[in-house]
Amino acid sequence: MNLFFKIFLWFLAAVSLMIGIVIFINWTVQTEPVVSRWQIAVRNQMNIYADTASQIYQESGEAGLNQFLRRIRQSETISEVDLVAPDGSVWLGDSQAANYRDLATQAIASEDVEIDTQRDTSLAAKIVSIGNGKKYALVVRWDRPRPVAVFGETRLRYLRLAGLLLTALILCYALARYLSSPIGKIRHATQQLAEGTLGTRVADRLGRRNDELGKLARDFDEMAERIESLVTSQQRLSRDISHELRSPLARMNVALGIAKQKASPEVAAQLERIENEADRLNQMIGRILTLSKLESGAEDYAKEPLDLFDIVASVADDADFEARPLGKSVKLDGEGTCLVDGNEALLRSAVENVLRNAVRYTKEGTAVTVSVQKTGANVTVRINDHGGGVPEPELKNLFKPFYRIGEARERSTGGIGLGLAIADRAIAAHEGSISARNIGDGLEIEIDLKCEPNGNSV
């Protein structure tokens, strides 16, 4: 789930919870004091009613008392008035059948106002002494007060609730957008930078923000600027190194030639050795430069439709020529045309590096097999050697620059561990993929490339 929805839903949940809590607190906070105040009022009223009732009975007897009870009932908040005997029977009043025995007994015993709270109403009872010493309980049914609801009582309350929720929704949406959209922009810029667009800057796209996100964007820009300058200076450095290292090497080669012109035969072998080493040094510099050029991704390689099979076949020819004197060979498998959109020099060097590597490591008397296979819109080049393969955990490291596999593939076999790294970058520059696995008694390197859409026939 993306950040926008997370923020949105969390804030929505928080707002909903807040509304719930407010309603709940309102209810409890309002209810308590309202109820206790109401109870005090009811008690006072009940005391007055009870005293008045006994006085009226003394003055005007049962008829007067009945009239008084009827007058009490006229009050809006009172729905029922009875005089109940201790045995529960109703002497005077409305509900003859009602069973108020417990409440009446209680009130008569305590001589105080007793309140029995029921669903919507409350019954209040108070002892009333009548002249002849008889004791009754005056039982009055009161409407209970209700706390004021947060959204009121009318139908308008639904509208108010909806309005509140809508406002909350809009605010949550705005907040979530405000927080997540700059992060999305920064993320997009990070991807661009990672893909090699080193000129990517993001702060301007965020507008004027002074919060952490704005600062993050400015920090990102600073970082991007530093990376850009580092990369360009590194590229300049490799170019300079190429020129600087090669100039002395070129002079050395010529000086060596002069030395050989003048040397006596006994140092010829040593001079030959120096020449070989200088040659090796030169090759290394060349490879490092090729790799650094490829890795920077800055170079724009001109691409054209090429027949991959042609390239593989001609490299395989050369490799076979090179392998024969070592008692090894290269076998080519596959036929036909596979057009790919590529740079010939790059593709050639990728195939050459992999193939020469295979020839170097395959055992004497074995053949390296190269196969070119077209499957749908892809073409796959597989190069298999019989060199004993590579320890499984090392496979993923094969394409790292200067990586050497410990015991199995030693320095004496030559190379400086850049060939496969160069192949990897060259294939990547063609949006293809290269992978390695152990098959049988050797290593298989697989190169996958996209074919030209209309490359089926020439």
Partner 1 sequence: MNKILIIDDDEELCELVAEYLTVEGFETKAVHDGQTGLETALEGEYDMAVLDVMLPKMNGFDVLRNLRAASKLPVLMLTARGDDMERIVGLEIGADDYLAKPFNPRELVARLRAILRRTEPADTGDKSAEKLTIGDLELSRSSRTAWIDGKEVPLTSVEFDLLANLAADAGNVVRKEDLSESVLERKLSPYDRSLDMHISNLRKKLGARPDGGDRIKTIRSVGYIYTIV
Give residues in contact with partner 1 (CB under 8 A): 242-243, 246-247, 249-258, 261, 275, 278, 282, 286, 289-290, 310, 313-315, 317-319, 321-322, 345, 348, 352
Residue 6 C-beta: closest distance to partner 1, Å: 51
Residue 318 C-beta: closest distance to partner 1, Å: 4
Q: Is the distance from CB of 130 to CB of 62 less than 8 angstroms?
A: no
Q: Which of 188, 243, 386, 430 is catalytic?
A: 243
Give the other-Cβ count within 10 Å of 224's Cβ. Answer: 20
Residue 401 C-beta: closest distance to partner 1, Å: 16
Spatial separation of the C-alpha atoms in residues 305 and 399, rounded to whole Å = 27
Q: What is the largest CA-CA distance in the chain?
A: 159
**Strand ranges, E, within 293-431:** 304-307, 329-333, 339-342, 367-375, 378-384
Residue 287 C-beta: closest distance to partner 1, Å: 8
Residue 399 C-beta: closest distance to partner 1, Å: 20
Q: Which is nearer to partner 1, 310 or 394 (CB)?
A: 310
Per the document, the length of the chain is 458
Spatial separation of the C-alpha atoms in residues 219 and 371, rounded to whole Å = 50
Q: Is the distance from CB of 424 to CB of 448 less than 8 angstroms?
A: no
Q: Which two tokens stand for residue 48?
A: 């007055």
Strand pairing partners for 152? none
Q: Which is nearer to partner 1, 282 or 378 (CB)?
A: 282
Q: Which is nearer to partner 1, 158 or 321 (CB)?
A: 321
What one-character DSSP code corresponds to residue 204? G
Q: Which is nearer to partner 1, 141 or 374 (CB)?
A: 374
243: annotated active-site residue: yes
Q: Which is nearer to partner 1, 225 or 279 (CB)?
A: 279
Token pair 């030209």 is at which residue?
Answer: 452
Q: Is the distance from CB of 293 to CB of 326 less than 8 angstroms?
A: no
Q: Which residues are catalytic?
A: 243
